[in-house]
A and B are shown apart, each in its own frame.
Chain A
Amino acid sequence: MMTLLLIVLPLLGALSLFVMKGDSIKKTAFAISLVTFAMAIGAWINFDASNLSQYAFKQDWIPSLGISFSVNLDGLSLLMVLLTTFLTPLIILSTFDREYKNPLAFYALILTMEMALIGVFVTQDAFLFYIFWELALIPIYFISLLWGGENARPITFKFFLYTLAGSLLMLFAIIYLYLQTPEHSFAIEAFHKVILAPETQSWIFWMLFIAFAIKIPVFPFHTWQPSTYHMNSTPGTMLLSGIMLKMGIFGLMRWLLPVVPQGCIDNADYVVILATIGIVYASAIAIVQKDFKKLLAYSSIAHVGLITAGVFSFTDNGLRGASMQMLAHGVNVVGLFFVADILFNRTKTFEMKDMGGIRSKAPWFATLFLIILLGSVALPLTNGFVGEFLLLLGVYEYSNVIAAFCGLTIILGAVYMLMSYQKTMLGETSAATKDFTDLTFNEKAVLIPIAIVIIATGLYPKPLIDLVEPSVQYILSFINI
């Protein structure tokens, strides 16, 4: 029931906004997202990680087609739900000092998005998964289109159609799998039972993988991403980068590995190589970016490339690392994009060469940025390290040469992140930054929780790892037959 409530609450919240006026809209939206977060925490408190189906809710929906509204929480789902519900209030809070036109629609869309995202993470039915998956795309389409910056329309369309193309392939694969299930059911257990020939698994694998890969995005399916992140309003970018791309990785772990294990094993080499190329490629491009937001976009590609490689190492370390890094990346990237937003808000530019010296003007800002940056470059005792270490270890167990290449992210990540920090924060102030003001209360209220989470989960990740451990083992049990 709790799981259902987690889905329904944001939706009801979104609807309730329609009776609100003025400032109370965003406050209500924030309150609702906080309550959702509290519920997720509540779910966590009484959680028994070893039980893979908790707070389950199941209601037949289209029984004749074996479709049911079946949701529950396991460790992995709960982790993602925690991420989503933690970030959404922050994303909403990040807008408090900004003016967005038509706030009613804006916050309603954000809450709807939260609903769809939670749905994606908790569903146990492939059909429902697909529905939430698509449903998540609609709010972000509108957010991109209506609140996006320059060239919002063509860029939104590219992003939208690109991801949809992948989704449609996924739909095809899901239907095919459904038809192969013995009892004609969309339930994930039924999918687990499907036995397919290796060749069939292979093409199903690619269909599903491309869908996820576009969302993640894995090189070379990434080109929608930098422009979309760059053009979008900050909440849009945060939603996309912080939570939405996790859908792809989550999809890999929940819907790809256990369902077509042989296909995964047969094609893992290609995927890992693509991911590795993506890491180096995106890092190299990030290094030469002059625009801060684009730099973040490319850095994100590099990070998720590593996560993908980790997932496809099929090792417990790789999957644990992927889970941890999903959380870490979500938190960090939201923080970083908010930093970009603050920079843009004060300087009206994303060009790093026009900035500098902000540290002396805004010590709070500089320090919090630094902490988030450390998470991003995976310094030990920050959240990024936990994930990255486990991921690299996982990849190493898969192939030591590839691990060496993936490991370049340790160096290259430091190069571009420190470069951006230096260009924006250090040095003498410029014309654009001479009147830079330090963080407002609301801005602090966003960045400080992020910083705390970065350090707290870096210092003591064990509860989280314990949380996902049974799920990871369960996923692996399909691969290691």
Chain B
Amino acid sequence: MNVLILISCLGLLSLFVGLSDSLRRYSLQVIVAGVLALFVLNFFNWNQENTRYYHDMVNFDHYAVAFTGVILFVAALVFMLSKDQFNFDEKGTGDYYGIMAFTVAGAIMMVSYSNLAMLFIGIEALSVSLYTLAGSKKTSHESNEAALKYFILGAFATGFLLFGITMIYGATGSFNLAEIAAYVNGSKDLPYLFYAGLLMLMVGLLFKVSAAPFHFWAPDVYEGSPNIVTSFMATVVKIAAFAAFYRLFSTCFGGASEQWEMILSAVVVLTLVIGNFSALAQSNLKRLLAYSGIANAGFMLLAIVALKGDAASALFYYSIAYAAASLGAFAVLILLSEEGQTLSIDSLRGLGKKNPVVAVLFCIVLLSMAGIPPTAGFFAKYFIISTAIANGHLAVSLIAILTSLVGIYYYFKIIATLFSAPVEGSENTIAEKKSYILILCAVIIIAAGILPELIISLLR
């Protein structure tokens, strides 16, 4: 709880730092130090006796604390990566950090809520901040377009989310997760109103996690937004959305699972197919990552389909693996764009020769994304599939496994490009660059791959 309060304060602090001419250049240091401090502080929330705060509005149970930790850590990494990324105008940097801090606050609400009102506020705090961030590169038409698309579609989806919440309220008379759960588990024949509301609510959440057919915004917004914002969306935001999704469904709707399981399974399949196959046809690296994010969303949804057993730890592990890999990829992307390279896959040609360290690290990242053992990506996929099979979702698991083959194809296409001969005449200038974030991500990927037990045992 203290983390939630303090992150909001940190956002405020950033805004103030941004205002002051003398302090402005420290805004990055301030935010990074603040987030890291919170990350440490967050550890103390583990195993606290009383986890419910403010009339059971938020519940900082293990699940919430664990995900808060991940969100803070990943956010810290994103902030570290953001050096020189918000240089659209001289004065704005602190503001952007402030807004990002608020986004993180929204994300923490989303992982710790135990009342639909908090979920709603969290989602909106997150979204509203992101609308701004997506459009933060004001002079860029792509950024403008991304912001507008994100806003219109996001607000539209909020409508469905709210409609769903309303219906559930109408059926249960409560916004509290525990009460809703009691209602679901208590009555044999749930009113139809409730089911429809549940599904509308699910639609709203599916939109946030960019599951097909509600994914359309994602590739465009990811591509149009500034790189650092995209990396933020792909990691922090996505993890928060999934955490929220899973928290809601596992706490409240597990008892009605036969009602939405099939539909969600169909969504999973559609998401996997669309995500993977669209990524297959991409030549722009950023857009490819966007589609791969959709495909990954399909996998994470599978954890929600599975719901029971180890699904929470599977999702948790997946989040970490996915975030590490995504951040690594974005670190490379940022390296590329800093040198004014186009973000096409072909601009990676010859990297293996020019800068083998970055190439090998990126290769590790891609292997993890493709799910090749013993990287974290493999275990992530493995845990999810295993949980899904354990809960009897054989067909959808098989489809997930097979579509990941398509994924392997395009990730390995990039790997092949990394190590293929450079294009004649083009100078690849990231030869001398290093990225500590990339190194860190690769280390996390390998470490999490070798010692997955450390992570999955947390939420068991």
Contact = CB atoms under 8 A, between A and B. Distances in A.
A165 B409 CA distance: 11
B452 interface: yes
B374 A172 contact: no
A426 interface: no
Interface stretch (B104-112, B162-170, B398-406): B398-406
A141 B405 CA distance: 15
B214 interface: no
Interface string B310-351: 000000000000000000000000000000000000000000
Contacts of B416: 145, 153, 156-157
B389 A141 contact: no
Interface string A151-192: 001001100110011001101100110110000000000000
Interface stretch (A29-37, A129-137, A378-386): A129-137
Contact of B405 (A130, A164, A178): A164
A130 to B, nearest CB: 7
A172 B382 contact: no
Given A134-B373, A137-B372, A164-B405, 8 more contacts: A62-B452, A65-B456, A134-B378, A135-B372, A157-B409, A157-B412, A161-B408, A168-B404
B308 interface: no
Given A164-B405, A168-B404, A135 B373 contact: yes
B367 A138 contact: yes
Contacts of A179: 386, 389-390
Interface residues of A, number: 30
Contact of B374 (A131, A137, A141, A171): A131
Given A130-B373, A168-B405, A171-B401, A160 B412 contact: yes
A175 B401 CA distance: 12
A137 B408 CA distance: 13
A64 B402 contact: no
Interface of B: 367, 372-374, 378, 382, 385-386, 389-390, 394, 397-398, 401-402, 404-405, 408-409, 412-413, 416, 419-420, 452-453, 456-457, 460
Given A131-B374, A171-B382, A142 B405 contact: no
Nearest to B386: A175
Given A131-B374, A161-B405, A172-B397, A141 B452 contact: no
A320 to B, nearest CB: 32
B374 A135 contact: yes
Interface of A: 61-65, 130-131, 134-135, 137-138, 141-142, 145-146, 153, 156-157, 160-161, 164-165, 168-169, 171-172, 175-176, 178-179
Given A160-B412, A175-B389, A178-B386, A165 B453 contact: no
A131 B386 CA distance: 15
A20 to B, nearest CB: 15
B318 to A, nearest CB: 15
Contact of B412 (A65, A141, A165, A168): A141
Nearest to A132: B373
A172 B412 contact: no
Q: Which 4 A-B pairs have the closest CB atoms?
A: A131-B373, A62-B453, A168-B401, A134-B373
Contacts of A65: 386, 456
Contacts of B408: 160-161, 164
